[in-house]
Amino acid sequence: MFSEKMNEALNVQANRELYSSYLYLSMSYYFESINMLGFAHWMRLQAGEELVHTMKMLDYVADRGGRARMLAVEAPKFSWASPLQAFQQVWDHERFVTGLIHSLVRVAEEELDEAALDFLQWFVKEQVEEEESSDNVRNRVMAAGIDRAALEAADRELGQRSFKFPRGFEIFPNATSR
């Protein structure tokens, strides 16, 4: 049975995924404003990926016969002291989201909702990847330090990122660059 409590917990998490998308989009425009277009590109794709997470969660609510509800999205900050500060926040944020997903798993356990537990395993695995990839880029930017040439090399490198949107979620079908 799909309980009201499970439905609401998923709606709240979908809102947090949407906030993640909003945060990374904000970082993307911050990087564009300081002319680091590779970093901007990486963040733009990350924002798209978070939008997929949002819809994946809301689709599941609808598939279970629940009600997907849009909640107000908090405004993210729009400026950072340095590229490293922004990438540090990505890593911190992903670790925070991992905790939220694990709390959601606890709700599914309390509600004896085996189907939701099964569904949430996708997000549990995804968070392992999200933490690893955000830690990798943070380390890459940290290694560049404040050396402008090294930062520009990291910017070019991250600008190579590609992401194929899963079938049914082709929001930006050709989102390799602007």
C-alpha triplet 15, 88, 44: angle, nearest 5°: 55
Tell me the site size for ligand FEO, rule CB under 6 A: 7
Contact characters 89-128, ligand FEO, x per CB under 6 A: -----x--x-------------------------------
Least distance to ligand FEO from the beta carbon of 22, Å?
12
If binding is defined by CB under 6 A, does position 64 make contact with ligand FEO?
no
| Cα–Cα distance, 146 to 130 (Å, whole number) | 25
Q: How far is Cα 147 from Cα 169, in angstroms, rounded to an integer?
A: 39
What is the C-alpha to C-alpha distance for residues 111 and 2, in angstroms, rounded to an integer? 8
| Candidate residues 6, 11, 14, 17; the one interacting with ligand FEO per rule CB under 6 A | 17
- How many Å apart are CA 116 and CA 1, to the nearest integer? 10
At its nearest, how many Å lie between ligand FEO and the CB of residue 147?
29
CA distances from 18 to 51, 60, 100, 130, 142 (A): 6, 15, 14, 15, 27
The separation between CA 58 and the C-alpha centre of its own chain, rounded to angstroms, equals: 15
Which listed residue (11, 15, 20, 28) binds ligand FEO by CB under 6 A?
Answer: 20
CB of 161 to ligand FEO, least distance (A): 14
Among 53, 64, 138, 161, binds ligand FEO (CB under 6 A): 53
Q: How far is the CB of 20 from ligand FEO (least distance, A)?
A: 5
Inter-axis angle of helices 148-158 and 37-63, nearest 10: 40
Smallest distance, ligand FEO to C-beta of residue 53, A = 4
Q: Which residues bind ligand FEO (CB under 6 A)?
A: 17, 20, 50, 53, 94, 97, 130
